[in-house]
A = this chain, B = another copy of it.
């Protein structure tokens, strides 16, 4: 078995209390001699503190529960990395829980975390979670007196704290950039519109259009589900509508990549024929054949900040609506074409790019 305080006490002929004091570096009232003796035998016996016992008596585990939908999603693994890193620095740790986007599992995970005595929870809601379900989560955590932070996506009511990025601003940034680059016919592939982040991005997008005297048009909007396949499909739908498209703003990178695939398969070149901008800045963006211009969400930093707020006690279980909204950031790579001097009236381009698709394909498929 592991060495215990008691064993050290016996070995040194001192009391458990004294040993505990010394081993915890207390502002001490222990003779230098005994202190030395204790330290030495602790070393010899290879003593290591039993943190389970410490947790029990102190009533805190210094552990953060990371309740997310899927760690293999690079969005969340970046978050996890930031959170874990910050925990490490403070001698905290993180328990990982995947919900696989199921609210029921989400609740199970929260219960388990509560039972394990988690000192805080970083919570990335499942996408199927409705406002009512979210409330079930928050109510539970509050009742358990566990401080928590929603990341990225959130329900705006009665939360303990939120750490997110300004999605409205992000949507605005993307659209504004496209417009400044001379694009006018801008389509977008949204996320599920029942999700607040998706709606906010759309708001920002439309705001930028308005400010530039452009109309938003439902024909230019397709709804996706934040994954590759739905990006493919949505781009296909957009194309099938027979409208002229200068650029596509996909509400996340996975969909952007899916859209690029469809475009490429349909004989369009990115960005020469149609530009694409994404959202997230996942690590593979820059590894793409056409590196993806995108709106960056600083996930790792969000994880770091979330952990810090929980560890420092800045967020307590009684906190309400403590918001930390980070700024998204435009990351320019190569998927958006610069079309200088193209005016609103211009419409002579596009479609000309629709060459014979099979020949085109072979030429460019490598």
Contact = CB atoms under 8 A, between A and B. Distances in A.
Interface of A: 1-2, 46, 48-53, 55-56, 61, 63, 66, 70-72, 74, 77-78, 80-81, 84-85, 88, 91, 93-98, 100, 105, 108-109, 111-112, 114-117, 143-145, 228, 257, 261, 264, 269-272, 283-284, 287-290, 300, 363-366
Contacts of A100: 85
Given A51-B117, A105-B88, A287 B365 contact: no
16 contacts: A2-B145, A46-B143, A48-B111, A48-B114, A48-B144, A51-B115, A51-B117, A52-B116, A70-B81, A72-B80, A74-B77, A88-B108, A93-B97, A96-B96, A264-B366, A290-B366
Chain copies in complex? 2
B95 A96 contact: yes
A97 to B, nearest CB: 7
Contacts of A93: 95-97, 112, 116
Given A72-B81, A95-B95, A363-B363, 6 more contacts: A50-B115, A84-B98, A271-B366, A272-B366, A288-B288, A290-B366
A235 to B, nearest CB: 14
A363 B362 CA distance: 12
Nearest to A271: B366
Contact of A96 (B66, B72, B283): B66
